[in-house]
Structure formats: structure tokens, C-alpha cells
Amino acid sequence: MNQLDALKQYTTVVADTGDFRQIETYKPTDATTNPSLILRAVRKPEYRALLTETAARYRGGAVDEIVDRLLVRFGCEILSIVPGRVSTEVDARLSFDVTATVARAERLIEMYEAQGIHANRVLIKVAATWEGIAAAGQLERKGIHTNLTLLFSFCQAVACAQARVRLISPFVGRIYDWYKKAAGPNWVEADNADANDPGVRSVSTIFHYYKKFGIATQIMGASFRNTGQIAALAGCDLLTISPELLAELAASEAPLGRALDPQQAKGMDIEHMHYDEAAFRFALNQDAMATDKLAEGIRAFCADAESLDQLLLSA
């Protein structure tokens, strides 16, 4: 049995790509996209027609609506391949606007439903700012399920649980990147690998907290740098993995067993937490890594959203 098949025994495998032609090879259950992945896809010749067709069909409309139609077009193509769900992201430029985030999410769902896709097959991705989490709580109460992305800290995970969001995406690799850069020449890779990887530790802490208190929000580890990080989180609810790392897992027959077990969490001594807005903002502020990576991630997604706008306008 290869590592990918072994992983599927413990964890729902999700393809982290906008390149839907790669997805079928690895037979994931779900797929996730983001502005960067869609931008990368539409720059490839094989996907350029999707962009030009969408731009031509809706020419003269508001650019934000045309972008959403392109995102939904990709999402529909992906859903014709995967049996589960696709995650589609609200424009990151709305990350601090509750009302606008809710409105954009509702529009995305309306677009999917107009294509015959039931809302249960779509997760609306929203950045895990305080405002994003508040918007997600509103959406969940309306029956629109959410995936809270750019999640780097425990306080974000707790606030998401309080809002009863469907799923969170803690970013393993970006946490690892920050600590490695901060350590500089003092970084020892062997001491920070597998279960000791700072990104893996972050997800493990959230996993045990959620399972200890019976929290229904699903945890989907994301943003992996190597297969060791993936193996160290086998047993997590879901893991979203790039095609490159899916290929490595499929090519390896090294042993891969369960690393995270929800039953172990039951006996752990873990304090139950609650964050109001002030406590959340303070806790996030005190976590330099999470503060840096959340801001950096939003800026990067905003830049890619602007690039996608320009591509559509010039198509």
C-alpha cells in the first residue's frame, strides 16, 4: 500500500489546486482553491479559455461579479470530478468587512445553485480575522457552510469553534516557514521535524482541544512543505495537499500509521477557552507569528485578486 492510500484510511484527502485536470489522478474526496491557485491555473494555456469565455460572456459587468463567475466555473469543473465539496474563497479585500463578506458569500452560493450545485457541496472560504469569523457565524446560521483560512493561532481556532463554522484550515507550512526564518542559523531541521515541527504542533494542539470538548468544527491541515508534515498529522479530519506532494505520497511505500487519535484527547488535561473580541485581538497580537502570517497572507491574496481582475479586464 502506498502512503496516499494509507493516509486515506485515517484522513479525508483533499486536493489543494485549481488545476482540475490534475485532481482525478489522486482521487481526493474534496478540493480547495484560493485566488493564488486560480490565478496560476488561468495563466496556463489549457485553462486560458475558461478565463476568456467568462470575460466575453459577462463583458460590461462589474469586475467583482465576473471574477466570482470565473471562480464558480472552476468550482463546477472540480465538482464534476470530486465526490465531495469544493472550497471557493471570498475576495480577501473584504477580510475586515462582515456585511460585504456575507453578501459576497451569498452571491457565490446563488451562482453555484444556478448551475445546479447544491449549497452543501460548497464551502465558502473566509480569512480568519475577527470580522471573517463573525461573517462565517452568520453564514452558518443561514445554512451556508464555511472554511476559515489563513489560520495560524489557537485563539483563531477557538473563535471559529464558538462561531460553529464547518471547517478550519490551519496553515502548517507557513507556521514552519516563520519559525525557521526566525531561528536563522540556530535552526536544526532534525529537531523540528515530524511531530516536533511547529506547524504540526499547532494543528495537534487544536485537534486535541476540539476532540476533548466534542467540537464539531472539522480541522483540515493545509500548506504543507513536505510529506513528513503530512504523515505527522495522519488522523486529522482532513488534509489538503498539493498535487506535487500527493504524487510523492503515491510513489512511496514507506509505513504510514495514524498519528492523531481523537480518543487520546479525552484523557488530556486541557483548559476550555472562550474569546470575546477584545480577548481575541489581544491573544492574536501577542502571537507574533500568527499576526505576521495572517497579515502577509491577506496581502498576498489581495495582490493575486487584483492580478486576476486585470487579467479578466484585458481578456
Annotated catalytic residue within 44, 125, 181, 211: 125
Closest CA to 71 of 43, 92, 50, 85: 50
- Residue 157: its H or E element: helix 154-162
CATH number, residue 160: 3.20.20.70
What is the reported pTM?
Answer: 0.96
Instruction: List per-residue pLDDT tens for the chain, 315 residues long.
Output: 999 999 999 999 999 999 988 898 899 999 999 888 999 999 999 999 999 999 999 999 999 999 999 999 999 999 999 999 999 999 999 999 999 999 999 999 999 999 999 999 999 999 999 999 999 999 999 999 999 999 999 999 999 999 999 999 999 999 999 999 999 999 999 999 999 999 999 999 999 999 999 999 999 999 999 999 999 999 999 999 999 999 999 999 999 999 999 999 999 999 999 999 999 999 999 999 999 999 999 999 999 999 999 999 998
Q: How many CB atoms lie within 10 A of CB 188?
A: 9
Domain count for the chain, please give it. Answer: 1
Q: What is the pLDDT of residues 197-213, one digit of tens each?
A: 999 999 999 999 999 99
Q: What is the pLDDT of residues 272-299, one digit of tens each?
A: 999 999 999 999 999 999 999 999 999 9
Enumerate residues 6+ apart whose C-beta is below 8 A from 203.
Answer: 170, 172, 219, 221, 233, 236
**Range of 144's domain?**
3-314
Q: CA-CA distance, 81 to 139, in Å (whole number)?
A: 26
* Known catalytic membership, residue 8: no
Q: CA-CA distance, 197 to 36, in Å (whole number)?
A: 25
